[in-house]
């Protein structure tokens, strides 16, 4: 079969970085083609070339679509040729409605200049229904969670009925059931004849829906595999050149340790229409203990962390190391020794106009200072040490954050909270978008911190991560703790059963 979309000899350099070093990439009609590789391997760069974000002339090599040579000068040109694209980072207009976002830039298609708003909403409804989503087309995007925003962007790409759809890590911020729903959408699109290029770090998804895979390593193709050759270990070996050992490092909950964090009757108001917030949540975490919050998207897991950290108005009592603290703002929380790794690195994590180094040390300058002055030498060596420890792929501490690959941006945020040496560390999706090798490194760091007496709370949409990493799991549904068990006392089915029971109860109470 001839490829529908193919690239030959693609070479792309940025100032100081050779991102692609001669890539051949062939996508067959009607397949779901996985594009794999470690953070910084060049995946996003390749799809940006195929989509005109990096326009013709900014790279060398040849691209053909359905047998014809194409050179896209812009994303609009690629769209017009039937190439759809959902970028890795969320790009939505917060103050507009879902329908306006889905059709932003596409209005007037085939029907003159004006389209009635009701019509846009109805069409958006149809696309969202097709995706199996209950998001209201009239909702203002600012009220949505980051996962829901990602789904809106997918709807936006589908609005143009593309022939080839490229998805750059669409599931990075989704949890189990949402991932399943999305994979179901991909299967449906495949039956409709849409060809897809699918980037992910979650290998089980590849085994589940993809037909073939191309693995990039350091800007080169390391392997091209057909479905019969699919195997997680083989992918990992092609990506890293290494075999990975056991996924989760061993950790035992400390016995009789004092509570480092305790939360009593925490209430957080939900965002209008979208989520529940937190209701009467009480729990404590011992020094050296890792506690996981499991639950579905929008169950209130992140709101609990945000409430403790003072990012959203909350009431209830919080104590750190026995000391009651009044948390009215993140500053109060930080002063008390609490650090938060945010889930949404673009919206409230990284400062895109500051370089890599400053993004790590921001807020952490005190220990690097003497008599109120920042010691440049200490700052520089601390930055280099943090970059080395987390294997941050950037040309130098002066490099621009906007130019880092998604997974490397995540590592910067992690480096920042580590440097803070907190007593309590709240991690919201700590491995979002990071590759298998770095994921292991992050797990290792989490356990190391626990061994130093830090109390950790982990929110992850990957149940496996919560169950494998944490000493104790709290299951959250509708903003409440509905179940609690220790490592080894339950698995995924226990979490899902508790969630289902809580939901059934909510439905009963409402009727
Ligand atoms: N605009 C840019 N300017 C400078 N360097 C860039 C730019 N875009 C990407 N790079 C560099 O090119 C390399 C490949 O980046 P790319 O974003 O394609 O990686 P990726 O495979 O998508 O990784 P991830 O899994 O982390 O998203 C990285 O070293 C990155 O820092
Ligand atoms: Mg990427």
Identify the pLDDT of residue 472.
96
- CB distance 206 to 196 below 8 Å: no
Residue listed under structure tokens 């195929």? 50
In this structure, the residue with its CA closest to atom 2 of ligand 1 is 403
In this structure, the residue with its CA closest to atom 22 of ligand 1 is 44
> Which listed ligand is nearest to 433 at the C-alpha?
1
Query: What are the residue ranges of helices labelled H in 349-405?
Result: 356-361, 376-389
Distance CA 429, CA 425 (A): 12
Identify the pLDDT of residue 285.
97
> Which listed ligand is nearest to 43 at the C-alpha?
1
Most ligand 1 atoms within 8 A of CB, residue of 17, 38, 398 to mutate: 17
Using pLDDT thresholds of 50, 70 and 90, give the confidence band for residue 106.
low
Highest mean pLDDT among 17-26, 144-153, 335-344, 429-438: 17-26
Identify the pLDDT of residue 375.
75
Q: Give how far Cα 466 sits from Cα of 2, 52, 440, 443, Å.
A: 43, 39, 14, 11
Query: What is the residue extent of each domain of the chain?
Result: 5-240, 251-337+422-511, 348-421
**What angle is formed at CA 343 by the lines to CA 86 and CA 320, rounded to 5 degrees?**
175
Identify the pLDDT of residue 245.
63
Share of the chain above pLDDT 70, in %: 95
Is the predicted pLDDT of residue 131 greater than 80, yes or no? no
Most ligand 1 atoms within 8 A of CB, residue of 171, 221, 405 to mutate: 405
Q: Which fold has domain 5-240?
A: Rossmann fold (3.40.50)
Is the predicted pLDDT of residue 110 greater than 60, yes or no? no
How far away, in angstroms, is 404 Cα from ligand 2 center?
Answer: 9
Identify the pLDDT of residue 281.
95
Q: Which structure tokens are listed for 117?
A: 């708003």
The helix/strand/coil state of 181 is helix
> In whole numbers, what is the pLDDT of the chain averaged over residues?
88
Share of the chain above pLDDT 90, in %: 48
Identify the pLDDT of residue 107.
53
Q: What is the pLDDT of residues 162-219, one digit of tens each?
A: 999 999 998 887 777 778 888 888 898 899 899 999 999 999 999 999 999 999 999 9
Residue, of 185 and 282, whose pLDDT is higher: 282
In this structure, the residue with its CA closest to atom 9 of ligand 1 is 403
Q: What is the pLDDT of residues 441-492, one digit of tens each?
A: 889 889 999 999 999 999 998 888 999 999 999 999 988 999 999 998 988 8
Using pLDDT thresholds of 50, 70 and 90, give the confidence band for residue 507.
confident
**Ligand 1 atom, smallest distance to 88 CA:** 27
- Residue 465: CB partners within 8 Å, gap ≥ 6? 292, 431, 458
In this structure, the residue with its CA closest to atom 6 of ligand 1 is 403
Q: φ and ψ at 325, to 5 degrees?
A: -130, 145
- CB distance 415 to 387 below 8 Å: yes
Q: Which of 226-240, 383-397, 446-460 has the lowest mean pLDDT?
A: 383-397
> Which listed ligand is nearest to 434 at the C-alpha?
1
Most ligand 1 atoms within 8 A of CB, residue of 14, 51, 197, 345 to mutate: 14
In this structure, the residue with its CA closest to atom 10 of ligand 1 is 403
Residues in the chain, total: 511
In this structure, the residue with its CA closest to atom 19 of ligand 1 is 40
- CB distance 76 to 28 below 8 Å: no
Q: Which of 87-96, 201-210, 368-377, 412-421 has the lowest mean pLDDT?
A: 368-377
Q: What is the pLDDT of residues 8-37, one digit of tens each?
A: 999 999 987 899 999 999 999 999 999 999
> Which listed ligand is nearest to 15 at the C-alpha?
1
CA Rg value for the chain: 23
In this structure, the residue with its CA closest to atom 1 of ligand 1 is 403
Q: What is the pLDDT of residues 327-366, one digit of tens each?
A: 889 999 999 999 999 877 666 678 888 889 888 888 777 7
In this structure, the residue with its CA closest to atom 24 of ligand 1 is 39
**Ligand 1 atom, smallest distance to 37 CA:** 21
Q: What is the CATH number of domain 251-337+422-511?
A: 3.40.50.300
Distance CA 294, CA 474 (A): 6
Q: What is the mean pLDDT of residues 33-42?
A: 94
**How many Cβ atoms are within 10 Å of 318's Cβ, its own excluded?**
24
Distance CA 110, CA 25 (A): 34
Helices 146-158 and 176-191 cross at an angle (nearest 10°) of: 0
pTM (two decimals): 0.75
Q: Which residues line ligand 1 (CB under 6 A)?
A: 14, 17, 19, 37, 39-45, 88, 393, 403-408
Q: Which of 104-108, 295-299, 310-314, 333-337 has the lowest mean pLDDT?
A: 104-108
Most ligand 1 atoms within 8 A of CB, residue of 44, 220, 350 to mutate: 44
Q: What is the mean pLDDT of residues 303-316?
A: 91
**C-alpha of 373 from chain center:** 36
Identify the pLDDT of residue 272.
58
- CB distance 297 to 145 below 8 Å: yes
**Ligand 1 atom, smallest distance to 201 CA:** 25
Highest mean pLDDT among 244-253, 289-298, 314-323, 371-380: 314-323
How far away, in angstroms, is 405 Cα from ligand 2 center?
Answer: 5
The residues facing 351 across adjacent strands are none
Torsion sign across C-alpha atoms 228, 234, 236, 237: negative
In this structure, the residue with its CA closest to atom 7 of ligand 1 is 403
How far away, in angstroms, is 120 Cα from ligand 1 center?
Answer: 35
Q: What is the β-pairing status of strands 164-168 and 195-199? A: parallel
b/e code 6-35 from CB counts within 10 Å (16+ = b):
bbeebebeeeebebbbebebbbeeebbbbb
Identify the pLDDT of residue 92.
85
Most ligand 1 atoms within 8 A of CB, residue of 19, 35, 346, 412 to mutate: 19
Using pLDDT thresholds of 50, 70 and 90, give the confidence band for residue 246.
low
Identify the pLDDT of residue 112.
46
Is the predicted pLDDT of residue 274 greater than 50, yes or no? no
Asked, colleague to colleague, whether 5-240 and 251-337+422-511 share their fold, the answer is yes
């Amino acid at each position: 079969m001839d490829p529908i979309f193919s690239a030959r000899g693609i070479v792309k350099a940025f100032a100081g970085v050779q991102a692609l070093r001669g890539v051949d990439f062939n996508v067959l009609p009607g397949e779901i083609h996985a594009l794999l590789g470690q953070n910084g391997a060049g995946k996003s760069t390749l799809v940006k070339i195929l989509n005109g974000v990096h326009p013709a002339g900014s790279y060398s090599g040849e691209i053909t679509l359905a047998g014809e040579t194409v050179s896209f000068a812009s994303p609009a040109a690629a769209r017009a040729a039937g190439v759809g694209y959902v970028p890795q980072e969320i790009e939505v207009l917060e103050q507009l409605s879902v329908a306006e976002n889905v059709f932003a830039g596409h209005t007037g298609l085939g029907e003159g200049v004006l389209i009635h708003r009701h019509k846009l909403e109805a069409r958006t409804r149809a696309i969202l229904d097709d995706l199996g989503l209950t998001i209201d087309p009239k909702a203002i995007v600012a009220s949505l969670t980051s996962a829901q925003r990602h789904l809106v962007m997918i709807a936006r790409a589908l609005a143009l009925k593309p022939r080839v759809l490229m998805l750059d890590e669409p599931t990075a911020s989704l949890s189990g059931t949402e991932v399943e729903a999305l994979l179901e959408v991909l299967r449906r699109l495949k039956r409709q004849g849409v060809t897809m290029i699918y980037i992910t770090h979650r290998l089980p998804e590849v085994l589940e829906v993809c037909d073939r895979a191309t693995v990039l390593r350091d800007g080169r193709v390391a392997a091209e595999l057909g479905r019969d050759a699919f195997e997680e270990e083989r992918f990992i070996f092609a990506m890293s050149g290494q075999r990975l050992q056991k996924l989760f490092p061993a950790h035992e909950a400390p016995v009789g340790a004092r509570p480092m964090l305790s939360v009593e009757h925490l209430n957080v108001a939900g965002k209008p229409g979208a989520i529940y917030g937190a209701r009467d949540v009480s729990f404590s975490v011992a020094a050296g203990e890792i506690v996981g919050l499991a639950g579905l998207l929008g169950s209130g897991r992140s709101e609990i962390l945000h409430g403790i950290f003072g990012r959203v108005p909350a009431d209830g009592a919080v104590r750190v190391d026995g000391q009651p603290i009044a948390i009215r703002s993140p500053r109060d929380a930080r002063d008390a020794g609490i650090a938060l790794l945010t889930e949404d690195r673009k919206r409230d994590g990284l400062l895109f106009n500051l370089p890599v180094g400053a993004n790590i040390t921001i807020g952490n300058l005190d220990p690097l200072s003497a008599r109120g002055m920042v010691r440049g030498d200490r700052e520089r060596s601390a930055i280099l040490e943090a970059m080395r420890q987390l294997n941050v792929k950037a040309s130098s501490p002066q490099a621009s954050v906007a130019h880092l690959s998604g997974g490397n941006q995540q590592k910067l945020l992690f480096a920042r909270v580590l440097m803070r040496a907190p007593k309590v560390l709240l991690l919201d999706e700590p491995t979002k978008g990071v590759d298998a090798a770095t994921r292991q490194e992050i797990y290792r760091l989490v356990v190391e911190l626990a061994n130093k007496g830090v109390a950790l709370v982990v929110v992850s949409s990957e149940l496996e991560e919560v169950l494998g990493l944490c000493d104790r799991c709290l299951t959250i549904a509708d903003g409440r703790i509905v179940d609690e068990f220790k490592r080894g006392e339950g698995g995924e089915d226990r979490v899902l059963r508790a969630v289902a029971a809580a939901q059934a109860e909510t439905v009963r109470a409402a009727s």
